[in-house]
Amino acid sequence: MESLRIHEVYQSVQGESTLAGMPCTFIRLAGCPLRCVYCDTPQAIPLDSGETQTFSTIFTSLSEPKTPLVLVTGGEPLAQKNCISLLEGLLSMYQHVQLETAGAYDISKVPTQVSIILDIKTPGSGEVGRNRWQNMQYLRNNTEIKFVLTSREDYVWATGILQQYDLASQCTVLMSCTWGSLEPQDLVEWIMQDNLPVRIQLQLHKYIWDAEKTGV
């Protein structure tokens, strides 16, 4: 029987992406092989931080969706191969299905109706070597590329990637600041100076709740 390691499931508002502010069910899968320096969900990194749930249990608990949107996140959701089957099942239940991934795994099998939020790791994350650049051939118009920037150096690097892969012509590109490392005002200034075709993204949850609060 198919199963997944689930860290937590809860309802809140989506704090990021172009659907920020929309009521959302979060399905946080357990386990991540990356170690980003700014990780704000370190509690979900160990695989044993979750409990094994069968698909029958998962889908029964979600059978009456409380929100129009569901986000599958982690950890790194694609590190569990059954994530794809989960996404397929969610598509028949929710109006919008999003997947947040670090892009270290193959995204080609993700159903096309799922909006992928692909978090490209910058040098400042400490995990730039984990970017799977082959994924760039699978971008779709419902994909959202996200750069989490720690510094001016990260910003310059990200603008280079933006141009190299012509990202803005293929999908939405979001740039956000690592909390406490980069000021949003500086990022806005740089984006305006360079006339970059991107959207700045603030992590809504950190403004609504305490920056360290989890599960909200």
**62 to each of 50, 93, 214, how far by Cα in Å?**
18, 8, 21
Nearer to ligand SF4, 102 or 117 (CB): 102
Question: What's the closest the beta carbon of residue 48 comes to ligand SF4, in angstroms?
Answer: 15
Question: What's the closest the beta carbon of residue 102 comes to ligand SF4, in angstroms?
Answer: 4
Nearer to ligand SF4, 114 or 117 (CB): 117
Question: What's the closest the beta carbon of residue 130 comes to ligand SF4, in angstroms?
Answer: 8
CA 174, CA 206: separation in Å to the nearest integer?
Answer: 17
Question: What's the closest the beta carbon of residue 147 comes to ligand SF4, in angstroms?
Answer: 13
Amino acid at 58: I
The binding site for ligand SF4 (CB under 6 A) comprises 32, 34-36, 39, 41, 45, 74-76, 102
For residue 23, give the nearest of 68, 90, 71, 62 by alpha carbon.
68
In the chain, what is the greatest distance between 2 CA atoms, to the nearest angstrom?
54
Radius of gyration of the chain (CA): 17
- Other C-beta atoms closer than 10 Å to the C-beta of 37 total 11
Nearer to ligand SF4, 74 or 196 (CB): 74
Nearer to ligand SF4, 72 or 102 (CB): 102
